[in-house]
Amino acid sequence: LGGSPSAELAKTHNVSEVFALADGTKARLAGWVASKSEVGGVLFLQLRDGTGFLQLVARKPGKAYEEALSASKEEAVVAEGVVRSDPRAPGGKELLLTSLEVVARADAWPITPSIVKSPKAYFDLRHLTIRGRKAQALAKVRAELFRLAFEFFSSRGFTYITAPLIVQAAVEGGATLFKLDYFGREAYLSQSAQFYEEAAICSLEKVFVIQPAFRAEKSRTPKHLTEFWMIEAEMAFADQEDNMRLQEEFVSYLAGKIKESCARQLETLGRDFTPPRPPFPRLTYDSARELAAEKGFGFPWGEDITTEAERSLSSSFDVPFFITDYPLSARSFYHMTRPDRPDVTLSADLMAPEGYGEIATGGQRIHDYETLKRRIEALDLPASSFQWYLELRRYGMPPHSGFGIGVERLLRWICGIRNIRYVTLFPRTPARVYP
């Protein structure tokens, strides 16, 4: 049906627009009562709409005061009043109410400070707690990040593609696959769109994907979700150097733009950072391993960098950095190895600083048919599910490389949020599929 809302709901402004209005301007807004307090006969309501928060003021006595008094937390309201400046008001402006109409009543609001302090209770009520100031700010930064990612890749000649989420092959190992019954056959939820991107580059040359990825990782950590969003890019005729340059530019672009366009949200989150600039520091896996050992977080050569070592390494940087030259034994089968060191791959992890750790993994892929075939056989992988992926190498597959970056991992760092659950509206973890 659409069309304009009924006359009673029509508003003249959004909250964010009010801050630019001259004193004395009449405004009509619609939103929710985020909080209410009374100081010396003056009622203060914080009104929330989809664009932010605004202070509403009503003075005793009068109709507006009575109406405002009767409105409770989280009721939906239409507020009319006059804009005025007050340095004590958040943002420097407030609305002196002339009327406040309740459009939808609310029961007593169940979100108490003790609920906010208990993650379990907080996320059990996530359908309501997403109304909080920080939750709103995070959702806004997240939306901006997606917009910027499309902008960045599109402006550089990458074509946006989508790939199936129901798949037969494990891109990143069998251990974290979500199995599903696909009409009697075994299928999985996609861990990464990479293989489909590799097929697509021979048609489109440079592609990117923004879509969910799934990992059945039982580990309950501040950086793992079972369902998350990944931004992936893949380029034909590109080596690992080109790949790392692209990542540096992408991350610098995102951080720089978000710092400008989401200044208000970052302030709400209490986050400040200096956007990085390329080139990012690089250290090899070997030297990262030595550095970690010096700090007391040693691990055997050939294994993945442990969580503790990763945190410690990341804490010693204040800009993002690459760890390059991972051992083949710590990488998925498709990685190309160095010509001078066959036990080491042309791959890198991009690490966020300040203890946040890995945000992206990328590398150059094996483009030679025989080499990939031998790799699949040596690792005794299920050849049938990789058949089409291998076959690509028989039909003009050039050197190519790409990466995948986790949206929630990026947000965690950019917004300064320690636990990844907060940067998505409805997180999925081993313990949580509700709400």
Which residues form the interface with Mg ion (CB under 5 A)? 361
Chain centroid to CA 71: 35
Helix or strand holding residue 409 (H, E): helix 407-415
Pick the stretch among 67-75, 246-254, 282-290, 360-368 that binds ligand 4AD (CB under 6 A): 360-368
Q: Which of 46, 190, 194, 252 binds ligand 4AD (CB under 6 A)?
A: 194
Q: Minimal distance in Å, beta carbon 349 to ligand 4AD? A: 7
Options 200, 358, 366, 414; binder of ligand 4AD; rule CB under 6 A: 358
Q: Which is nearer to ligand 4AD, 64 or 210 (CB)?
A: 210
- At residue 400, φ and ψ (nearest 5 deg) are -155, 160
Give how far Cα 298 sits from Cα of 143, 212, 304, 318, 327, Å: 39, 34, 11, 22, 16
Strand order across the 400-406 sheet: 159-160, 206-214, 227-236, 400-406, 357-364, 347-352, 321-324, 282-284
In this structure, are strands 341-345 and 337-338 parallel, antiparallel, or unpaired?
antiparallel
Nearer to ligand 4AD, 320 or 402 (CB): 402
Token digits of residue 365? 């892929």
DSSP 418: S
From ligand 4AD, Mg ion, none, interface partner of 38 (C-beta below 5 to 8 A by class): none
In this chain, which stretch among 15-23, 107-115, 118-126, 191-199 interacts with ligand 4AD, using CB under 6 A? Answer: 191-199
Is residue 399 classed as helix, strand or coil in its secondary structure? coil
Candidate segments 47-55, 106-114, 262-270, 354-362, binder of ligand 4AD by CB under 6 A: 354-362
Where does this chain touch ligand 4AD (CB under 6 A) — which range of 49-57, 280-288, 381-389, 399-407?
399-407
**Helices H / strands E in the chain, number of each:** 14, 18
Q: Which of residues 120-179 bind ligand 4AD (CB under 6 A)?
A: 171-172
- d(Cα 197, Cα 403) in Å, to the nearest integer? 10
Choosing among Mg ion, ligand 4AD, none, which partner's interface includes residue 404 (Cβ < 5 to 8 Å by kind)? ligand 4AD
Q: Any contact of residue 225 with ligand 4AD (CB under 6 A)?
A: yes
**In this complex, which beta carbon is closest to Mg ion, that of residue 13 or of residue 365?**
365
- Rounded to whole angstroms, the Cα distance separating 63 from 238 reads 69
Report the partner that residue 414 touches, choosing among Mg ion, ligand 4AD, none (CB closer than 5 to 8 A by kind): none
Tell me: does residue 224 bind ligand 4AD (CB under 6 A). Answer: yes
**CA distance readout (Å), 335 to 105, 141, 391, 412:** 58, 33, 16, 28
Nearer to Mg ion, 314 or 361 (CB): 361
- Judged by CB under 6 A, the stretch of 19-27, 143-151, 282-290, 403-411 that binds ligand 4AD is 403-411
- Alpha-carbon distance of 282 to 362, in angstroms, equals 14
- Taking a C-beta distance cutoff of 8 angstroms, is the pair 338, 344 a contact? yes
State which residue, 279 or 430, has the beta carbon closest to ligand 4AD: 430
Q: By CB under 6 A, tell whether 360 contacts ligand 4AD.
A: yes
Which residues are near ligand 4AD by CB under 6 A?
171-172, 191-192, 194, 215, 217, 224-225, 228, 230, 232, 358-362, 402-406, 408-409
